[in-house]
Structure formats: C-alpha cells, structure tokens
Structure 1
Amino acid sequence: MKTWFITGASRGFGREVALEALRRGDRVVATARSLNALDDLVASDPERVAAAQLDVTKPDEIARSIEIARDRFGSINILFNNAGIGHFAAIEESDDAHVRRLMEINVFGLAAVTKAWLPHLREQRSGLIINTSSIGGIRSFPAVGWYNASKFAVEGLSEALAQETEPLGIKVVIVEPGPFATDWAGNSAAEVPDADAIADYDQTAGKQRRTFRENVGQEPGDPAKAARVIVDVAHDDHPPLRLPLGNFGYDGLLEKFDMVRKDVAPREAASRGADRDRRASDA
C-alpha cells in the first residue's frame, strides 16, 4: 500500500489519480485550495483519505498540509505535484500579473511543495515525486508561450532533481500529457480579453486560443485512463523519467526530437567549430 500526497486533487488529473489510487488500495492525502471541494472524495473512504487546504503559493499552508499528512499517515511514498493553471495569450498580449501568477503556481509552487517534502523523503531514503508537465513542456505552440515557459521550467527542474535524488532512493517522473478532457482549458485558465487582443496575432495565437476554447471537454485524452497509467507507474519499481500521455503527447515528443535534429544538422560543422582549438589551448 502506497501513501500519496496530491496537490490540485479536487478535479482533473489530481482527482482521477486519487480515485484510482484508492481503487488500488492506497491511501491519499488530497489537497486543494478549497476543502469543500474535497468533501465527496473524503466521504468515499474516510479511513484512507485525508484532506488538507493547500494553496501551493502559501508557505504556511504547505507546512500545515504536510503536518496533517504526517499526523494521519506517518509519511508518504508518492508526491504528485498536479496543481497548475493555463494561460492563453500571445507573448506580447499577456498581462504581467497573470504571467507572474502562472509562474508562482506552476513553477515556484511546485518547487516549494517539493522542497518541503524532501527532508522527509531523504530521511526515509525512498519516495517518488511525480511532476505534472505537458507536451507543452517539450514543444511550444502559439497562444501558450508563457504556459510553455512554466512547463519547460518544470522539465528542467525535474531532470536536475532526478539526478540529485536518485542516489538517495528518491525517483522522479515527469508526466507529459497532450490534450485531455480536464479543466485545463476551462476555468483553470486565464486568457487575454478580446479588447486587449492584438489583430496581428489573430491567425496565430488568436486562432489557437479559439481552438482551445471550442474544444473544452472534447479533447481526445481520457483522464481516467491517464490516471491508471500514472498509478501503474507509481507502483513500478523502475519508473521512467518521462511519461508522455495520449497519442498527441507521445507523437509530439518524438516529433520534437526530429525537429531539433533537422534544424541543427545543416550547421553541425559550424556549431562544433565554436570550441577552442585543443592544440592551441594545450600549447
């Protein structure tokens, strides 16, 4: 039996993973900004579910939620950093306050929760940290440049963390979903008001933004199926560093590798030639 600590557990991947973990016989510390949003989850199995209020941008709530988890279950095996928001606007259109909030939640909030749990995981010399990124953390798209930036940061942070904690028995998995029928493109995302949209970007960022909104709830990815994959990986003794989800996510990951190779290959000699000449430096 595993014990999970899940941020953003009131909906989307967080909720589905909590439900799937419970079906597997695990215990769950479910957190969300509103405790009321977790009532039905707690009611489903009061013995194996603990709830804690948690805004990942508030250090006091992080500390209190960890205290609740340890008082209730002793410690955890799995930290699932799932809380996050979206933002739809061209780079130039984006409101600075919205961008900073995006970064505070998606990057600094994730990092703060992780850092708060790491001393406990180091002490027990075991644990798994699952960080929710996105195919948008591997490749960028118009209208979500700042969201891409936040998820690129999660990717870089997670890769380094995996190397730092692997000798301590702590593993890291980066979840990279494509489009899924969660609330990511609904109420969880802000966007540029029509009055502030820039006409020059209408056929790039504007078109993509409209597509996102029109497809809310119709995305090909099934959150319940994704949850089963995530929980399977959490119970695997040898989890991967990366876990793309959905056809768009998996294909998008491989396509990015091909795009990079195609882009850099014609100038390989020039790129390699930027090093100092070894014979000159040894002289």
Structure 2
Amino acid sequence: MPLVHVLMENDMARILVTGARRGIGREITLILGRAGHEVIASMRDPSGCDLANIAAQEGLAISLAALDVDDDASVAALFAKPSMVSVDVLINNAGILSMNALEDESLATMQAVMNTNFFGPVRCMKAVIPAMRERGSGLIINISSISGRMAIFAQSAYGPSKFALEAVSEIAAQELAPFGVRVALVEPDITATDMTMADLPQPRADSDYASGRRMLALNADSDKATPPAMVAGAVLDIVSGRNTAFRTPVGYNAQMFIDMRARMGDAAWIGMNDTLDDGEFVARMTAAMQG
C-alpha cells in the first residue's frame, strides 16, 4: 500500500474551509493564509465578512465563497467551478450545537444538527474525493469534538452527529489511503467561540432533567475554554505534515476527558449522572477527573 501523501513545510496548498465566518473556521482561515496557503473561506453568506479586509491589508491569498453545507445544490454549485478541482485540502469545520435531553429534543432539531454536522461534511467529502483519488494526493480534515469520543449527557443531537462524523472519517481514511489521500480528525474540547459561549443554546427551562443545567455549568467558565487559535494551530500542524496522526484531541482538558471515559466502565460512566442532586454529581465528576 503506498504511503499517504502529506504536505511538507514548504508546500503551499489550495485549501477550502467551511464555516469560516467566525470562531474556529475564521482562525483556521487566518493561520493558514498567514502561513502562505491559498485559502477559500466558505460560509452561507460572505457579505460583511471581515476576512476580505484582513486579507487585503495583509496581502493574504484568502478568497470568500458562498456555501451552505446543508444544501445539495449549494455544494454542487461551488464544486462545479473549475477552480475547485485543484483543491488540495478540505477542512470540514461548519457545525451547529443543540443542548437538550433526548426526551426534550425535537426530531426536527436532531435532523438539522445531523444534516449540518454529519451530512454537510459528507457532501463536501464526496465532492472532492474523485479529483483527489485520481491525482493520488489530498488531505481532508474533519473538525469533530471530544463529544465524538464520549457520549455526554444533554448532547442528544450534537453527540450522535460527531460520533457519526468520526465513523465516516475512519472509513474514508481506510478507503482512501491506497490512493494517497489522507483523512484526519481534530477533536476540540469546550472551545471559546460564540457557539459555545455567547450564543450557547439553552436547554428547555421546564425540563425534568438536570443534565442541561449541568452542561451549561461546564460551559460557563470561559477562562478554562480552549482558544480557537489553539485548534487552528493543530490544523496547521496537520496541513504542514508535522502531525500525521489520524485523531488529534485539542484543548486544555481534551485528553483528560477522553482518558477519563476510557478508564471508566459503562456502568460507572452512566452512574455518574444518575442523580438529580447537583452536589453529588459534582463530587462524582471531580473524583472521576482526578482518576
């Protein structure tokens, strides 16, 4: 089986980033542009995006493109452009979040989250894979989450979407390796973006479940949240070839949470949240984190 091609430090790539208007996607776009790569920053509506002004001021090869990863026609329209055939790297970053217990979450919301977080990356992957396979090189980076490695209460829509993204990424990595195309996952923990801080979705206020309130508390301390620039730096390491791992957890607590879940049996993990008393829950979580 041939080795999967990786970009080296001096290779300049043509890169497409989805969900680039703000947060992690914006930081990825800037760090890659400043590293000398040509970046297509895609988003649903590019109007008013400050990336164009930053690119002009700094002389960066960043261009904006309209793309709604939820929509088959939008994906087809962008990738039908001749310039898209030469995309070296696809970074699937666009994502949405919801926070509710399973009983409280609507099917419509679960379908919407799955459409953006799972089918969106799949649409884009299927659009770039043929050209990458034919030329024998390419890189696909899917921005997942530690929630794709451990099922966490109150993430009845978000968690399954990230588990599905992890699975399809691992399948694609196996299938594409013989053709010289690499697939990689980046798994941030709680990241200081609008989606997880200022615009954090609220669980049902009248819920009988404590899980939503507890998840809000875990997200409330922005001082402990991972900066989006840290996630972008991890992406740059993968693009440059400095990091060749399939999975890359990113954040102050990412590996700790993953290790905690790995060493706990299913009964212990489920039992941690089987109390309606917040104090008892916090004690259990603290003990688990301390190992």
Taking the aligned partners of 1:115 and 1:14, their CA distance within structure 2 comes to 20
CA contact (8 A) 2:87 2:128 kept: no
Return the index of the structure with the highest Cα Rg: 1
Residue 228 of structure 1, CA deviation: 1.5
Task: Give the secondary structure class of the aligned counterpart of 2:162.
Answer: helix
Instruction: Please give the residue correspondences for 1:120-199 in structure 2 after superposition, counting only pairs within 5 Å.
Output: 120-186=131-197, 190-194=201-205, 197-199=206-208
Aligned partner letter, 2:169: S
Task: Give the secondary structure class of the aligned counterpart of 1:94.
Answer: coil
Aligned to 2:9: none
Instruction: Please give the residue correspondences for 1:85-100 in structure 2 after superposition, counting only pairs within 5 Å.
Output: 85-100=96-111
Task: Give the secondary structure class of the aligned counterpart of 2:264.
Answer: helix
CA contact (8 A) 1:98 1:190 kept: no
Between structures 1 and 2, the one with greater helix share: 1
Task: Give the secondary structure class of the aligned counterpart of 1:140.
Answer: coil
Aligned partner letter, 2:191: F
TM superposition score normalised by structure 1: 0.83
1:189–1:125 CA distance, 2 compared to 1 (3 A) = farther
1:235–1:99 CA distance, 2 compared to 1 (3 A) = same
1:37–1:260 CA distance, 2 compared to 1 (3 A) = farther
Residue 152 of structure 1, CA deviation: 0.6
CA contact (8 A) 2:237 2:243 kept: no
Q: Which 5+ residue runs of structure 1 have no aligned equivalent?
A: 264-283
CA displacement, residues 32-57 of structure 1 (integer Å, 9 cap, x when unaligned): 0111153x212333561221111101
Aligned to 2:51: 41
Aligned to 2:284: none
Taking the aligned partners of 1:141 and 1:262, their CA distance within structure 2 comes to 14
1:187–1:247 CA distance, 2 compared to 1 (3 A) = closer
Taking the aligned partners of 2:266 and 2:102, their CA distance within structure 1 comes to 26
Runs of 4+ displaced beyond 4 Å: 186-189, 260-263
Residue 11 of structure 1, CA deviation: 0.9
Aligned partner letter, 2:180: G
Question: RMSD of the TM alignment (CA)?
Answer: 2.2
- Are positions 1:50 and 2:57 aligned together? no
Aligned to 1:255: 260
Taking the aligned partners of 2:217 and 2:17, their CA distance within structure 1 comes to 30
Aligned to 2:26: 15
Taking the aligned partners of 1:85 and 1:187, their CA distance within structure 2 comes to 14
1:91–1:36 CA distance, 2 compared to 1 (3 A) = same
Aligned partner letter, 2:207: I
Task: Give the secondary structure class of the aligned counterpart of 1:129.
Answer: strand
CA contact (8 A) 1:80 1:129 kept: yes
Taking the aligned partners of 2:252 and 2:224, their CA distance within structure 1 comes to 12
TM superposition score normalised by structure 2: 0.80
Aligned to 1:214: 220
Q: Which 5+ residue runs of structure 2 have no aligned equivalent?
A: 1-11, 269-291
CA contact (8 A) 1:95 1:192 kept: no
Paired residues, what number? 254
Residue 3 of structure 1, CA deviation: 1.3
- Are positions 1:225 and 2:230 aligned together? yes
Task: Give the secondary structure class of the aligned counterpart of 1:84.
Answer: coil
CA displacement, residues 221-246 of structure 1 (integer Å, 9 cap, x when unaligned): 11112212210111107611001001
- Are positions 1:75 and 2:86 aligned together? yes
Taking the aligned partners of 2:108 and 2:33, their CA distance within structure 1 comes to 38
Taking the aligned partners of 1:86 and 1:189, their CA distance within structure 2 comes to 8
More displaced 10-residue stretch of structure 1: 251-260 or 172-181:
251-260
